[in-house]
Chains A and B, each alone.
Chain A
């Protein structure tokens, strides 16, 4: 079965790096995603990684994938107050036509 686990809270100081972690159970996962949700809003895709990749970097965001341990992380460099939000890890299986399975979300609080 599919299950995605994340810690619920993270607090960092402005300017520091944030690292949000996620574990998933299904080794058939094809794509893994990070979505961001601002208060009272829908989710927006931040970044994604294909299962044959180990790392992906996009400006301040770095995604690391450890397939052996089924562990995904999102690092945000130089965290800003505007980064305060809930971050969801999600996985997709096989061809990608099945619905995404989401984790419970990590609430990131950035302290000025």
Chain B
């Protein structure tokens, strides 16, 4: 079945460690996005990519890095520079142009907890 797969679903990290969250899609979508979700804060855009080997910062990119070496993959690294990394991370994808209704397709999320 086509869709977006995020892994791991749960991740624990010690302070000072970098971690990488995986996001893979087999929908043949051009664009991929990373959002961060905190209680009462909604979704905030971290990075997005509209084409392989290119990506743009979102509203809260500091302390994060991404790569887009393949169309189907958009991993997010949470670095030790991110001061409050504990959150729920959501990956999404969409075709470009974004189709008749502009829908984003979301993965199931990864919950990162820093100990």
Contacts and interface: CB of A to CB of B under 8 A. Distances in A.
Is chain B found bound to chain A in the same assembly? yes
Given A96-B97, A96-B98, A97-B96, A45 B103 contact: yes
A61 interface: no
B104 interface: yes
A40 B10 CA distance: 10
Interface residues of B, number: 28
Interface in A1-27: 8
Interface residues of A, number: 23
Contacts, number: 62
Interface string A30-62: 110100000011111100100000000000000
Interface in B68-105: 90, 92, 96-99, 101-104
B101 A31 contact: yes
B102 A92 contact: yes
B106 A42 contact: yes
